[in-house]
Structure 1
């Protein structure tokens, strides 16, 4: 499937080295004055070539809206956003036209479709996520009007971990460094680690944490469309993601139920709250009004600047040589992708709960 969502539905299209990538959004409320500068800023957070620790492919990622807008406002009809590819160097991939790169989608795409676009991975390239970021930037603008805020940040690169609870972090520091870690000291260590790994022609993985604040209670469905299940699906659909956990996650297995239960009380305004939040803001697959928080694990990038053993399309043993422009660590650019996918999930559930949504001019 190239489509995600039910009430707010996106379909992405395009390949890494094709003419363009983009997204069609169906179900966007009408009469919304889109902030195009914000959408572009979000794309700038994801775009390649933004720092020395990411791929040096130089794409401006300028977004163009070609349908669904009239006199500066959404019409309620499908929105189409296009980002034209301008710095694709397909010749960098000619050497793997008949070879399968280890841990890439080359072999599996060939097995499934009987054909593959080897230029930068084609449709399997992480470049597709730019379309998601564009759609997520629109979803964020609608969620803001409901007071919902989504923040993601780098919490780990390799063995360098940020263990401070998110409640004690200064989120204003996230965009102040290239790795997008809110702890300046750890950020410096992470950046040096990525630089050293790159010098060795290798790659490294990491973790992105995310927090969704001011989520109303009642979002999610009780069985197959549980809120946490959809968040997990959305995050695991991002390239290079290997793990997702929310709330207490795997650490919760070491706790007793008497310690893990989130006791309920009435706050000063008469609202039901919980004294702890091991549930991660979701109970029974439905939001309970507390902060939703989760972690997303990213593997090391599969393309190395080293020789690796593999097979070619004829089944012969070959040595694959890494070439081209690649991220030594995807995490710094993945932060905004995690936010975008979370926004798409939350807005889809919000609209499924509402007959109409008040859109401020």
Structure 2
């Protein structure tokens, strides 16, 4: 299906090299100030061609609101958003009519539907996420204006280059208090200060070296994005099947190229004793009730407890690479796939606003 949510329902449309992509958003409250200027910043953060670390495909990703607003105010009716595909090169993918790309969706789409988009992966392309990001930007505006909810994601690792707190998790199975302080203060301007979107200068330089090396080798590399949701109301989420972390996992693992989701203490928590891992309740200096530590990631029993919600999403190396790959054609003949086109050596820096947007859709719902 191409729809997400029930109350705040988002339906995305479009393929990688069709005339345009976008979404229909149903459930936006009426009377909210909304123009393209509220949506464009996140699309600009997501777009290709931002830096030497991303695909050179030159798309400005300019959004147009087609319906659902009048005089810059939402009407409560479905909002239609569209973004044109300007830099289309469908001929770059003619080889995929003969060879299914390794680890891409060419084969599975063909088997499921009996037909596939002839270029760029169709709906499996990351261009599908434009609709998610646009809808997420609207959700973020409402959440920020009405409730003060703040969502910030950042690149936490690429390849073996990782921020110190990730190394602590990997090497020492620990979550240091400084990490929680960091989550309280990190903001988007700090994240965007470096083209890697990694807010740790030493790690950012290491990540640049890793990505540029892979680009030179015509290869790709994966990594992780960490996200924090602050000021979320207490009581969101349902018992059993619709726990908030379950909804976030659904949302994050629906993003192209994702391979893992870790919530709160995540896998590190499995090595700790219960006496270490439990979050004692305390009365805070501001008079609020909360927890001393936050291994729970802001959710207990599937329901938000008012603490920061945080999680990490793993992205695989991009499947489409410019290096020749030995594979087998649809008719069973072994051969070489020489992929043309323009590809991200790492999807991680551009995935940051996508993770934020999907988080916003979950909280809005």
Quote the residue 1:279 is aligned against.
Answer: 296
Work out which of the residue numbers 326, 340, 347 in structure 2 matches 1:323.
340
Contact 1:173 1:183 in 2 (8 A): no
Match for residue 8 of structure 2?
A: 8
Cα distance, 1:107 vs. partner?
0.7
2: CA distance, partners of 1:105 / 1:166:
38
User: CA–CA distance in 2 between the matches of 1:60 and 1:317?
Assistant: 39
What is the aligned counterpart of 1:167 among 153, 175, 181? 181
CA distance in 2, matches of 1:207, 1:19: 32
Distance 1:175 1:276 in 2: 28
Deviates more, 1:115-124 or 1:163-172: 163-172
The change in CA–CA distance for 1:175 and 1:20 in structure 2 (over 3 A counts) is same
- Cα displacement (A) at 1:327: 0.1
Determine if contact 1:59/1:85 at 8 Å carries over to the other structure: yes
- Cα distance in structure 1, aligned partners of 2:139 and 2:12: 15
Give 1:227's aligned residue: 244
Shift of 1:35: 4.3
| Residue aligning to 2:266 | 249
Q: Which stretch has the larger CA shift, 269-278 or 296-305?
A: 269-278
With the length of structure 2 as denominator, give the TM-score of the two structures. 0.93
Once the two structures are superposed, what CA deviation does each residue of 1:323-353 show, in whole Å capped at 9, x if it has no partner?
11000000010000000000000011xxxxx
Q: Deviations over 1:131-176 (max 9, x none)?
A: 1111111011001020100000001010011024252365342111
Question: What is aligned with 2:71?
Answer: 71
- The aligned residue for residue 169 of structure 2 is none
1:266 deviates by 2.1
Q: 8 Å contact 1:106–1:118 — kept in the other structure?
A: no
Deviation string, structure 1 residues 16-38 (Cα, Å, up to 9, x no partner): 11111010000000011014223
Please tell me whether the aligned partners of residues 308 and 321 of structure 1 are also in contact (alpha carbons under 8 angstroms). Answer: yes
CA–CA distance in 2 between the matches of 1:170 and 1:236?
A: 24
Distance (whole Å) between structure 2 residues aligned to residue 92 and residue 269 of structure 1: 59
1:209-258 deviation line (CA, Å, top 9, x unaligned)? 00000111100011111100010010000010000011110000100111
Mapping 1:37-76, distance limit 5 Å: 37-76=37-76
Question: For residues 280-304 of structure 1, what are the alpha-carbon distances to aligned partners after superposition, in whole Å with 9 as ceiling and x for unaligned?
Answer: 0001111000000000000001112
Where do 5+ consecutive residues of structure 2 fail to align? 166-178
CA distance in 2, matches of 1:32, 1:210: 26
* Matched residues, number: 348
Q: What residue in structure 1 maps to residue 209 of structure 2?
A: 192
Structure-2 change in CA distance of 1:166 and 1:335 (3 Å) = farther
2:150 corresponds to: 149
Distance 1:166 1:316, change over 3 A: farther
TM-score by length of 1: 0.94
Query: Which residue does the alignment assign to 2:25?
Result: 25
RMSD: 1.2
